[in-house]
Chains A and B, each alone.
Chain A
């Protein structure tokens, strides 16, 4: 299995510079970083990739068995690090990928110079017994899974043939609108379950590499308490709150986001 084509890995930026690896979350693909990348490329080697099932990853590599838990994605991240062999990287994980970064760094700290956890949430579902406020009830999450089902017809009919790649029908090869976030509905459903039903709160304490927790000032998905929780559980971590609003600061405030990543990565040299 060729890891680079499986995950559509792309390396750009300054050769030999410190390595920043950007991991997208649930919903879209590496395009999500496109406003941030130019600012980082001047100084860093930038590694982009798509999770298997997203973007231009090799969909034939997807199996429900491997990708129905966080471990399959974590294995992929570690395999990419091993394959590129660029030395310890600053791993920037957005949303669910922040959790993947936590798990990957716990397993192989030697691969990571540091972690940037962007709008992270180790557990989306409230746990009143533990006084944990994740922002959503179990019923809320069930509703999300249903809303994915509601787009099932549109996705499977209009999107799937495009993202499946149809060499014998070139007219389908053009990039359609919405294709950045187009996913096979079955894959989206499985990834949504991994994203929103996983509970990795206890894994945070395993992180032993320098970590920056960067949360947004008004985020409907990861409320400020969650950022504070992650910061409290990772020893020696820093917490910053970006002015960016929404859950995707790399789009709503790309300069601020790039600056935060770069400033942190510089301290790791």
Chain B
């Protein structure tokens, strides 16, 4: 069609003339108000204030299959609705119309004479008389079959998406649980507590911890953080956990345990998708008759542990030079050995805590602030320390964007007089 103009110069001029100019012009003017009302492309309905139908157009009668005499003066607007629609009309539509004088775009279903249903969108306004008192309700009704089908499809997919999300969250929660001990081992002469803060219920985090018996009088503990989140990180977490447990049985020396984990992770992910983690592993043994414990900590690139002493002081236990586990064929592991005296508390954490954005200025919380926090806390108990960190995390709210694990080990005083 677009190319026709160039060769058609000689064709006959259009000989046709409009047979009746006036008629066409009149049709264009739409000067029959009555016809415009009766055969408008939407339904028109006027009712008295109590809903009694006073006037209805031909379009609506045709849609519903009623005769004018079936409706005018005999039925109410709400009689045309389905039962559910009638309840909705009484509890929402009518009160709103009374209060606002107008209501628009309400989705309802009309019942046709043959029992079939017509999805419609309804808009009503109240017409007031000269004195301002309401007289009539005018209503326009649009056929909404296509739109309703489309909406129902949207609704269905939205509900499906919500169900999927719930399923995913449940799966993530379950998976998370399998990566953490259901309860901490009871160590005679020690008070232990742990807490795991989940940053997002949609994803499995990569933090982990455990405390478990080794040979008689010896306990192993670890706390770590796998890089990344989600199912892939969970697989590494699982591998790291079981490797640590097995390696500790094979050779409980903390540096050896982390070296073995390093070898396993390095071989497992020596390819396109390197996975690594930071871990601190500790070996606990009773030390002397005064209730103290000896602990050797080995760290592979993990934030230093905190020692909250019985005398109210607190400081980091530096393990400098420890390297990430799983990146290099021979990672350097840093160790430190110390004595936990009665009243002392050892606190291990992952960097979700120090990396959290504070509520005040959105800055990261940081290691300095955590040390200050520990100093105000000391001396404390395992549960005291864990609860305090939990409360601290709560004050950050959504500022905690990574999972956080904390594990605390405390040697109770002999007289059992614990300070808060």
Contacts and interface: CB of A to CB of B under 8 A. Distances in A.
A152 B158 CA distance: 11
How many interface residues does chain B have, given as a range? Answer: 20 to 34
B85 A28 contact: no
Counting chain A CB atoms within 10 Å of each CB, the highest count among B50, B84, B90 belongs to B84
A150 interface: yes
Contacts of A34: 99
A136 B83 contact: yes
A147 B90 contact: no
A137 to B, nearest CB: 8
B158 to A, nearest CB: 8
B249 interface: no
A267 B61 CA distance: 52
Contacts of A177: 100, 102-104
Counting chain A CB atoms within 10 Å of each CB, the highest count among B87, B88, B96, B154 belongs to B87
A31 B99 CA distance: 8
B83 A140 contact: yes
A178 B106 CA distance: 10
B109 A32 contact: no
B107 interface: yes
A5 interface: no
Contacts, number: 99
A151 B95 contact: no
Contacts of B420: none
B78 interface: yes
A3 interface: no
Contacts of B83: 136, 140, 143-144
B193 to A, nearest CB: 29
Give the dominant DSSP class at B's interface: helix
A251 B49 contact: no
A146 B148 CA distance: 13
A190 to B, nearest CB: 15
Contact of B90 (A146, A149, A178, A246): A246
B342 to A, nearest CB: 43
B92 A218 contact: no
B6 to A, nearest CB: 51
Given A27-B91, A151-B107, A154-B105, A180 B85 contact: no
A135 to B, nearest CB: 9
Given A143-B84, A144-B87, A248 B107 contact: no
Given A150-B107, A181-B92, A221-B87, A252 B49 contact: yes
Contacts of B251: none
A148 interface: yes
A182 B208 CA distance: 45
A147 B96 contact: no
A222 to B, nearest CB: 9
Contacts of A154: 105, 107
B55 interface: no
Interface string A132-169: 00001000111111111111111000000000000000
Interface string A15-27: 0000000000111
Given A245-B50, A246-B50, 6 more contacts: A136-B83, A141-B84, A143-B83, A150-B152, A247-B90, A248-B98
Interface of A: 25-28, 31-32, 34, 95, 136, 140-154, 177-178, 180-181, 196, 218-221, 245-248, 251-252
A-B interface, 7 closest residue pairs, ranked by CB to CB distance from nearest: A27-B91, A143-B84, A144-B84, A147-B84, A140-B83, A251-B98, A247-B90
